[in-house]
Structure 1
């Protein structure tokens, strides 16, 4: 079954997965979950505000005998536009309240201000010796950010907070890594976890691509994977990919992937690659094992910044050393 096919799929009693299309994105779709009750209904994540996504959501809800006006809130896992921007649009259209993790506050404030494309990633790219990637990004013409898409939510969510719905209660767990304020929603009674982009079934989520950058996104992400392993196992309800399977099994696979990636990164340093850009060129990318130059500029940017995140962990573990040489971070064993 194609998980991106339009429509809705009941993945648990009263929980319907609705894939919404993504424009110009390799992920192809994002899952929005309609959680239905006797009197009120809730959406988990909102999607990317486009006419196609709006129509797909309306059509899927209509097949359930519902419309957006029948929902009273949208709980959003993180601030990326494929999750947040339609939530804000739904608030304008139908009055839904929007909730987002407290850790996303700085990013919402930043992204709503005028800024150059990829402004936050540029210093990292230069420090990583990847000025050529900045030049490639400058040739792109990304859509300008509409600051109204990033208006503040109605409610900021704290780690451990409970959110009562109609007929069930969700528990908020902060899972920084993919973004600083990423959260997952846990239904303890039904044994479900809405994982957003924290745990995905087929891919490893990007680390630290957000409006407010930090030096420890991978360390944060690994700690957040350990956190969900400390939770009782749940049914995996991800934002991209089919629903189902064990959160624990997939989180364990993701931890193993990053251990392999750390070893590959360390090997590249020992082989003489010195900057983040050189090390990223020595590695292979995506499940197709592509070279860095085979990726588009956006994904080259993600590759270099993720390489730097892995190098930060290696340095913290004493497996590599970094020295700043005139603004360029140079790594050695």
Structure 2
């Protein structure tokens, strides 16, 4: 579900497409800086620079690639600042487009990096990487009844050994909900598991701003259930976290992907409604039978264009299969479906 096509979304702070390079002021002392992403349909990530008397605090860091670093440096120069002035990164979650550039900048200039403790299991798995070990997602695909995706995923990831220099541990683990001082601002760090177990949003209530990371996106829904260290109820966590953010004041939405939006409440309501519709579609897809997550995903529509699963590339088909699994597991927890096993494949029934 989308409210506006991400490909055509204009951001009100820039008056142009949200990915347009620049240093766009979203509030006094706060700037949105879109940085490019490689091999990603989203095309860019928004990082946010907060000016303080002691330097710059960045919400998220970007992907550690040369073109991103070059544009970050240029964007900061445009407001008379320098990458050396970044004293702190508040990273919303551990995904590489948010985390890795924070780590590489820290290595050069000693910036302080904070990350949610719930993402530590993912970093632990990255650091314990065994070149001969099977990617943990493959077992998930097999259990979801998707052996073809498991095979293609194994081929897709066979030669992808992580560069550990980009995946060092943070200086500080964020735990529970807490308040942080950023210059003369007091920012609420709110734990919002779902997209990842360690995801955080950062709310500047006096300024009316919500730095939402990938938790609340204005034109798309974040992937759910796609982590190497998988949560028991990722969709349940996500929807509970949305409800938690709905309990904050209605704030200007500053997302990691997409344009600035005027109402966090309006978008949270849309996201919650979207997932209830998807849950109903899952129940209807099962009917009176017994189906795997892959079976259900194969009959559901995907993206705003309502593509079939068979029309998606291996990466997006993998996301779709595990997101369907997350919906089915929540339905089991609600008592709407049963869960069984057929020779290692999990089957769901009415």
Coarse TM-score class (shorter-chain normalised): over 0.9
Aligned length: 333
Q: In structure 2, how many angstroms separate the alpha carbons of the residues matched to 1:279 and 1:158?
A: 36
Q: Which residue in 2 is equivalent to 1:137?
A: 153
Q: Is the 8 A contact 1:112 1:148 kept in 2?
A: no
Aligned ranges 1:103-252 → 2 under 5 Å: 103-115=118-130, 119-140=135-156, 143-252=160-269
Q: In structure 1, how many angstroms separate the alpha carbons of the residues matched to 2:310 and 2:143?
A: 19
Counterpart check, 1:28 vs 2:43: yes
Q: Which residue in 2 is equivalent to 1:87?
A: 102
Q: In structure 1, how many angstroms separate the alpha carbons of the residues matched to 2:261 and 2:349?
A: 42
Q: In structure 2, how many angstroms separate the alpha carbons of the residues matched to 1:272 and 1:24?
A: 39
- Provide TM-score, normalisation by structure 1: 0.97
Q: In structure 2, how many angstroms separate the alpha carbons of the residues matched to 1:71 and 1:130?
A: 45
In the TM superposition, residue 273 of structure 1 has moved relative to its aligned partner by 6.0
Q: Is the 8 A contact 1:46 1:86 kept in 2?
A: yes
In the TM superposition, residue 221 of structure 1 has moved relative to its aligned partner by 0.3
Match of 1:311 among 325, 328, 339: 328
Counterpart check, 1:6 vs 2:24: no
Q: Is the 8 A contact 1:322 1:330 kept in 2?
A: yes
In the TM superposition, residue 132 of structure 1 has moved relative to its aligned partner by 0.7
Q: 1:264 to 1:298 in 2, by over 3 A?
A: same
Q: Which residue in 1 is equivalent to 2:346?
A: 329
Counterpart check, 1:37 vs 2:76: no
Q: In structure 2, how many angstroms separate the alpha carbons of the residues matched to 1:183 and 1:115?
A: 29
CA distances 1:97-140 after superposition (whole Å, capped 9, x unpaired): 10111211222111222146982222221111101101111232
In the TM superposition, residue 208 of structure 1 has moved relative to its aligned partner by 2.6
Q: In structure 2, how many angstroms separate the alpha carbons of the residues matched to 1:183 and 1:201?
A: 17
Q: In structure 1, how many angstroms separate the alpha carbons of the residues matched to 2:239 and 2:218?
A: 16
Q: Is the 8 A contact 1:111 1:211 kept in 2?
A: no
Q: In structure 2, how many angstroms separate the alpha carbons of the residues matched to 1:191 and 1:220?
A: 25
Q: 1:118 to 1:80 in 2, by over 3 A?
A: farther
Q: Is the 8 A contact 2:187 2:204 kept in 1?
A: yes
Moved over 4 A (4+): 115-118
Q: Which residue in 2 is equivalent to 1:52?
A: 67
Q: Which residue in 2 is equivalent to 1:299?
A: 316
CA distances 1:256-307 after superposition (whole Å, capped 9, x unpaired): 0000000111100006461111110010111111000111101111111000
Unaligned runs of 5+ in 1: none
Q: In structure 2, how many angstroms separate the alpha carbons of the residues matched to 1:118 and 1:162?
A: 40
In the TM superposition, residue 38 of structure 1 has moved relative to its aligned partner by 2.8
Unaligned runs of 5+ in 2: 1-15
CA distances 1:214-262 after superposition (whole Å, capped 9, x unpaired): 2210000010000001111111010000113211100000000000000
Q: In structure 2, how many angstroms separate the alpha carbons of the residues matched to 1:237 and 1:222?
A: 19
